[in-house]
């Protein structure tokens, strides 16, 4: 099992090294100024559920929004007692893509906020979607596609997937455009997704070489600014077209990522370990209760009692002794040195933590 784990780790590293050895397009390394989406959110009502909606006694907000919708449609329900089981209050979320125009359609996600058991087969009633500024940018409506199923009986209940959440493909229509004119920009800023001075400097050099003039300037590790007038491009859009496919060799910080829940360890190509000695072993405490029942002799006076019997033992596995991990000049040598210790992946996580604490692991250590 250990061999298979480290074989997969080396294989993944080989793939990562192959990718890092190649140049990456600028469009895959940066975000262009103004080219961004906006999050939308709304509060609505789903109808048409097959008895799997909110229990209105436990979710009074569902009854309130249902009454408001009916009153807007001209139905007076003031003072009426209605408790249907085929409606559910939901939160609707969506992302307004950059340069979205009025009349366009976007996907939406619908999630129950009450005690509804499933949204399968439900229909979302017209729901306005607001952005962070409070304005309505889209309106959502349509049939929900819920990914999951739930069945329930008197003595058992089975749920697969998440039936209380679903999507509506192209379920919202854009009603308002973001007030931003990309063509009016005088300077175009490139924001690096992973800030690094070396990568930013290389992007600056590649752009200036391609344009044949010094139009790009590295502002900091995460920003490269291009003067549009100095670039000679007709417009900001033409400038983006001319530079977004240029190739750059990025640089990244050495990083070790550890997922404690799954026992996964991923190391970057530039991880280095100084010469260090490691010892690892397990201490097991075992306590076993075996109570004994003692009864009095036949026809004698007395009572039955329980006498405690406890078996306590301390077991210590021999471990690996003190092993030396040599100086890691490359990732493959680091893996070979750690693999030579013959420990499980979860024990390897503890060893890496200790090596980092000792100052011998030269990389960012990220625990998830």
- Residues 49, 141: one domain? yes
Determine how many CB atoms are found less than 10 A away from the CB of residue 238: 14
Report, as an integer, the average pLDDT of 20-36.
Answer: 83
Q: How many whole angstroms separate alpha carbon 68 and alpha carbon 43? A: 13
Reading the block at residue 166, the tokens are 């679903």
- Residues 57, 135: one domain? yes
- Residues 207, 164: one domain? no
CA end-to-end span of the chain? 23
Report, as an integer, the average pLDDT of 160-168.
Answer: 83
Query: Within 13 A of 240's CA, how many CA atoms are on the CB side?
Result: 18
Q: What is the pLDDT of residues 266-305, one digit of tens each?
A: 877 778 777 777 666 655 556 566 777 777 777 667 777 7
Q: How many whole angstroms separate alpha carbon 166 and alpha carbon 175? A: 23
pLDDT for residue 349 is more than 50:
yes
- How many separate domains does the chain show? 3
- Residues 273, 214: one domain? no
Q: Can you say how many angstroms the Cα of residue 274 is from the centroid of all Cα atoms in its chain?
A: 33
**Most confident listed range (131-140, 156-165, 289-298):** 131-140
Asked if the structure places residue 268 within a domain, the reply is yes
Closest CA to 185 of 332, 34, 314, 310: 34
Q: What is the dihedral of CA 266, 275, 341, 353, to 10 degrees?
A: -50
* Owning domain of residue 269: 255-367
- Residues 155, 186: one domain? no
Q: What is the pLDDT of residues 230-267, one digit of tens each?
A: 888 889 999 999 999 999 999 888 888 888 777 777 87
Q: What is the pLDDT of residues 76-120, one digit of tens each?
A: 766 666 667 888 889 999 999 988 899 999 999 999 988 888 888
Mean pLDDT, the chain, whole residue set: 79
Q: What is the dihedral of CA 343, 344, 349, 354, to 10 degrees?
A: -20
- Residues 88, 162: one domain? yes
H/E element, 188: strand 187-192
Is the distance from CB of 186 to CB of 197 less than 8 angstroms? no
């Amino acid at each position: 099992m250990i061999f298979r784990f480290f074989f997969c780790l080396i294989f993944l590293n080989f793939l990562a090294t192959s990718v890092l050895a190649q140049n990456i397009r600028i469009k895959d390394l940066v975000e262009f100024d103004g080219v961004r989406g906006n999050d939308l959110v709304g509060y609505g009502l789903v109808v048409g559920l097959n008895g799997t909606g909110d229990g209105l006694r436990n979710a009074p907000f569902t009854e309130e929004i249902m009454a408001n919708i009916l009153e807007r449609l001209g139905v007076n329900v003031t003072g009426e007692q209605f408790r249907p089981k085929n409606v559910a209050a939901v939160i609707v979320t969506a992302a307004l893509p950059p340069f979205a125009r009025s009349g366009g359609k976007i996907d939406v996600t619908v999630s129950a906020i009450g005690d509804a058991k499933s949204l399968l087969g439900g229909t979302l009633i017209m729901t306005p979607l607001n952005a962070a500024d409070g304005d309505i940018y889209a309106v959502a409506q349509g049939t929900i596609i819920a990914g999951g199923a739930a069945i329930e009986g008197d003595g058992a209940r089975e749920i697969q997937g998440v039936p209380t959440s679903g999507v509506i493909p192209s379920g919202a229509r854009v009603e308002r455009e973001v007030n931003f004119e990309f063509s009016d920009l005088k300077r175009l800023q490139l924001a690096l997704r992973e800030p690094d001075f070396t990568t930013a400097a290389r992007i600056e050099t590649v752009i200036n070489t391609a344009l044949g003039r010094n139009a790009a300037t590295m502002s900091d590790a995460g920003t490269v600014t291009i003067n549009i007038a100095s670039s000679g491009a007709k417009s900001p859009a033409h400038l983006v077209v001319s530079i977004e496919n240029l190739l750059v060799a990025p640089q990244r910080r050495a990083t070790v990522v550890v997922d404690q829940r799954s026992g996964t360890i991923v190391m970057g190509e530039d991880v280095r370990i100084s010469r260090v000695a490691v010892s690892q072993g397990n201490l097991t405490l075992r306590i076993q209760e075996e109570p004994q029942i003692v009864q009095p002799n036949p026809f004698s006076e007395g009572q039955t009692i329980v006498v405690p019997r406890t078996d306590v033992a301390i077991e210590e596995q021999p471990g690996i002794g003190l092993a030396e991990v040599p100086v890691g000049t490359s990732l493959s040598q680091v893996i070979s040195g750690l693999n030579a210790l013959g420990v499980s992946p979860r024990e390897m996580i503890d060893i890496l933590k200790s090596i980092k604490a000792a100052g011998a692991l030269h990389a960012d250590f990220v625990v998830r």
